[in-house]
Amino acid sequence: MVGGIRFKTNVLMAPLAGYTCFPFRLMAEKLGAGSAYTEMVSADALKYNDQATSKLLYTDEREKLKCVQLLGAVPTVFERAAKSDLLADFDIIDINMGCPVPNVVKAGEGSALLEDIPRASKIIEACKRSGKVVSVKCRIGMNNSKIVIEEFARMCEVSGADMITVHGRTRAMMYDGEPLYEYIKLAKDSVSIPVFANGGIFSKEDAENMMEKTGADGIMLGRYGFENPLIFPELTGIKTKDTKYTLIMEQLETAAGCFDELYVLSYIKKLASYFMKKLPGTKQYKLALYRCGNLPELRKILGEIFEA
């Protein structure tokens, strides 16, 4: 139970820029994900209500649990965003306090908040004034000499966060290296709110290892959720007859019903590239995939790749 909301499973899908659009979130939910967050949304950009932001926030009644991730550095901006009509339909607000990308950190956002705990606290409090459930996604620290996860986790709880997801790497590690399991466990042992573990999960064995070593309440999948979304039913026991072919075709049709053709082509090509990893004999199709310029042609190529 997270702030009065019960996830149907404790296997979640991480927010990832460029990928966790509405169609993907629907698929993850169908396959057993307890929740799936929107792509990272700038809290400040919400005031413009432009087309790009509208695509990031697209949802409808098919998405049962609606979760948005916000990025920013100014508490008042977060409060305005959390209370805005644009987020009225969302059940959970996740605050990005872990993104390690240089331009994000330079702006005082993402991982930079690990070094400004008072500001991070004010941001959480600001979001909670919306009345919504609030979660925080963070890393364990900026580098090995600046690991702050114990203090940071306690601050999150005191400030009103309903849940924490801990990526078990420092900002300096980016996305490489073995997660530092002991620090996720330290966060779990330091608070009474749910703690989910993230980072380095690319198989069922990795997931089981993460749970065993950290004692976390659940896991959050990142990149592997795109490479093999069938990991969700494998981890949760949800029954499915889906294959990568049925999933990619369903994604195409769902996206085509929500977005313009250019967006659909871009999204499906990226997703198909992830799906193709480790599949034999797909090199010949990669060039054709990226030269493809319309949906009928894309359907044909996807059939050749995934039904072959």
Query: What domains does the chain contain, in order, with CATH numbers?
Result: 11-236 (3.20.20.70), 244-306 (no CATH)
pLDDT of residue 307: 80
129-138, 212-221, 299-308: the lowest-pLDDT one: 299-308
Give the per-residue pLDDT at 60.
96
Q: What is the pLDDT of residues 109-154, one digit of tens each?
A: 999 999 999 999 999 999 999 999 999 999 999 999 999 999 999 9
Residue 279, pLDDT score: 76
For the chain, give the percent of residues with pLDDT over 70: 100
HEC letters along the chain: CECCECCCCCEEECCCCCCCCHHHHHHHHHCCCCCEEEEEEECHHHHHCCHHHHHHCCCCCCCCCCEEEEECCCHHHHHHHHHCHHHCCCCEEEEEECCCCHHHHHCCCHHHHHHCHHHHHHHHHHHHCCCCEEEEEEECECCCCCECHHHHHHHHHHHCCCEEEEECCCCCCCCCCCCCHHHHHHHHHHCCCCEEEECCCCCHHHHHHHHHHHCCCEEEECCHHHHCCCHHHHHHCCCCCCCHHHHHHHHHHHHHCCCCHHHHHHHHHHHHHHHCCCCCCCHHHHHHHHHCCCHHHHHHHHHHHHCC
State how far the Cα of 133 lies from the Cα of 136, in Å rounded to an integer.
10
> How far is the CA of 225 from the CAs of 47, 62, 111, 160, 256, in angstroms?
31, 20, 23, 29, 22
Give the residues across from 141 on adjacent strands: 147
pLDDT, position 283: 77
User: Where do we find the tokens 């075709």?
Assistant: 249
- Residue of 27, 12, 14 whose CA lies nearest to 63: 27
Q: In sequence order, what are the beta bridge partners of 139?
A: 167
67 among known catalytic residues = no
What's the pLDDT tens digit per position in 152-202?
Answer: 999 999 999 999 999 999 999 999 999 999 999 999 999 999 999 999 999
The pTM assigned to this predicted structure is 0.94
Residue 306 pLDDT exceeds 90: no
Q: How far is CA 213 from the centre of its chain?
A: 22
Looking at the predicted structure, is the pLDDT value of residue 308 above 70? no
Q: Which two tokens stand for residue 40?
A: 């990272």
pLDDT at res. 228? 92
Residue closest to 221 by CA, chosen among 41, 23, 32, 21: 32
Confidence of residue 271 (pLDDT cuts 50, 70, 90): very high
Choice between 47 and 138, residue whose per-residue pLDDT is larger:
138
Residue 206 or 307, more confident: 206
Catalytic choice (21, 99, 156, 292)? 99
> Does the pLDDT value for residue 222 go beyond 90?
yes
Closest CA relative to residue 111, chosen from 90, 136, 131: 136
Average pLDDT, the chain: 95
pLDDT of res. 48: 84
